[in-house]
Amino acid sequence: AALTPAECEQLARKCLADPERAAAIARESGGNPFLLQLLAVVTGDVRLEDVVLSRLASLAAPARRLLEVVALAGAPVPERVASGVAGLEGSDVESIATLKAAHLVRGLHDERVEAWHDRIREAVVKSIDPERTRELHARLADGLKEGGDVDVVAWHLGAAGLIERAAEATLEAARRAVGQLAFERAAVLFDRAL
C-alpha cells in the first residue's frame, strides 16, 4: 500500500534538509517510496514527469525505443514482442536489462514486461510524437496477433487510427466472447464495433 502523506513527508525530510522541498516531493511521489527517492536525488524541479523525461533522454536509442513500446502497450507485453516492435536485434536485447536496472520497466514471471509504475508509463507516453504513437500502436497490434488476445489487438488498431481493422478485430473478439458464454462482454464489444 502507498505511504500516508505524513509517512511520505517524514521519509522526505530524512532525505532532504529543506522542509519545503521535502513537502513538495512527498506530495509529488503519491505515496510511492521509490518515486520519492527518485525525486529526492534530483536538483531543481520536483515533477516526476520531468525526472522521467530526463532519464529517458539519457538512454541509448535502443533502450529508449523499447521503453516507448512498453509504455504504449499499457499492459504487460511479451519481451520478444516489445523487442520486435522496437526494432531491437542481437546485442540491442540487453536494453531490457538496462531498463529493468533503472527501474523503468519490470519483468513478470512469464517473460512479459511492463512499465515499472503507471506514472512513469504516462510520462513516457506523453513524450512520444503523435505520428510515432500511431505507428507503434499499429506495430504492437501486428506483434500481438500471435498471442490471440483479439481485444487488445483491436484496441491498438483503434489507437493507430486503423478504424476498419479495429472494428473487424473487435467483432472477432465479440464472437469469441459469445462462444465463451461471456454475453455481457460480447455486448460491450459488439457495441464498440458499431
Positive or negative torsion for Cα 125, 127, 130, 132: negative
39: CB partners within 8 A, 6+ apart: 25, 28, 29, 46, 48, 51
Tally the residues of the chain: 194
pLDDT band at 45 (very low <50, low <70, confident <90, very high): low
pLDDT at residue number 42: 67
pLDDT at residue number 59: 92
pLDDT band at 190 (very low <50, low <70, confident <90, very high): very high
pLDDT band at 14 (very low <50, low <70, confident <90, very high): confident
- CA proximity to 170, closest of 183, 184, 182, 152: 152
Residues 182 and 194: their CA atoms lie apart, in Å, by 18
pLDDT at residue number 191: 94
pTM recorded for the entire structure: 0.78
Residues 21 and 83: their CA atoms lie apart, in Å, by 39
pLDDT at residue number 181: 95
What crossing angle do the helices spanning 130-144 and 79-86 adopt, rounded to 10°? 140
Question: Measuring CA to CA, how many Å separate 1 from each of 117, 167, 178, 179?
Answer: 14, 39, 37, 38
pLDDT band at 1 (very low <50, low <70, confident <90, very high): confident
